[in-house]
Amino acid sequence: MLAAVRSAVEELVQERGAAQVTIPMVAERAGVNPTSVYRRWGDAASMINDLATYRMSPDRPLPDTGDLRADLVDWAQEIIEHFRQPAAAAMLRGGAVAAGAGDSDCLRNRRAEATLLVERAGGGVPVDDVIDHVIAPIVYRVLFRPWSLDQTDLAAALVNRLFAGR
């Protein structure tokens, strides 16, 4: 059921935008009972926010080269590659809308990953700086300038700016 619902949500968000997606639409497209979807998520906003980060599993292995800078570049590149996919970008847009004023699941997951990378390297840079200098520019590009995700060495450039003057 989850795979069918996820595919239906991705398709509908791309076709109509997150604000127009409803649980009955998703259930119909996925071929499942709307009650099952409501039971799992409760509302469309929660469903979209949850599924927006489903493909980037928090259980996937993170880079571990022993060098924080190299790990952050590899991690940022993975995130950029993920959001170059139109369905993933559409889901991020939908997840951001669904999150409203609170933190999205995407931000919570990326913050947890950044914390792990920084702590594993023994510190050296505040996690909020990683979010502000690496993740935020990627998300901005996904939302407003998706063509700029193709910039050569974008991940390295963002990480270099993070470390500039340190």
Q: pLDDT tens across 99-121, in order?
A: 666 666 667 788 999 999 999 99
DSSP state of 135: I
Q: Are residues 45 and 82 in the same domain?
A: no
Q: For residue 30, give every residue at least 6 positions away whose Cβ sits within 8 Å of its Cβ, in sequence order, or none.
A: 1, 4, 5, 7, 8, 37
The verdict on 77 and 152 lying in the same domain is: yes
Q: Give me the pLDDT at residue 166, please.
A: 73
- Please tell me the total count of domains within the chain: 2
Are 79 and 134 in the same domain?
yes
Residue 138, in any domain of the structure: yes
Confidence of residue 55 (pLDDT cuts 50, 70, 90): low
What tokens were used for 157?
A: 């450039």
Backbone region of residue 13 per phi and psi (left: phi > 0; alpha: psi in -120 to 50; beta: other values): alpha
Same domain, 81 and 11: no
Q: What is the mean pLDDT of residues 5-26?
A: 87
Q: Which residues contact 10 (CB under 8 A, 6 or more apart)?
A: 51, 87, 90, 91
Containing structural domain, residue 147: 68-163
In terms of domains, do 137 and 105 share one? Answer: yes
State the residue for tokens 């398709």: 11
Using the 8-state DSSP alphabet, how is residue 63 labeled? P
pTM of the model: 0.76
Q: Supply angle C-alpha 113, 117, 123, rounded to 5.
A: 130
Residue 63 lies in a domain: no
Residue whose token pair is 């974008």? 154
Q: Tell whether 92 and 118 lie within a shared domain.
A: yes
Asked whether residue 154 is assigned to any structural domain, the reply reads yes
If asked whether residues 10 and 48 sit together in one domain, one would say: yes
- Identify the H or E element spanning 42: none
In this structure, is residue 19 part of a structural domain? Answer: yes
Q: Are residues 27 and 75 in the same domain?
A: no
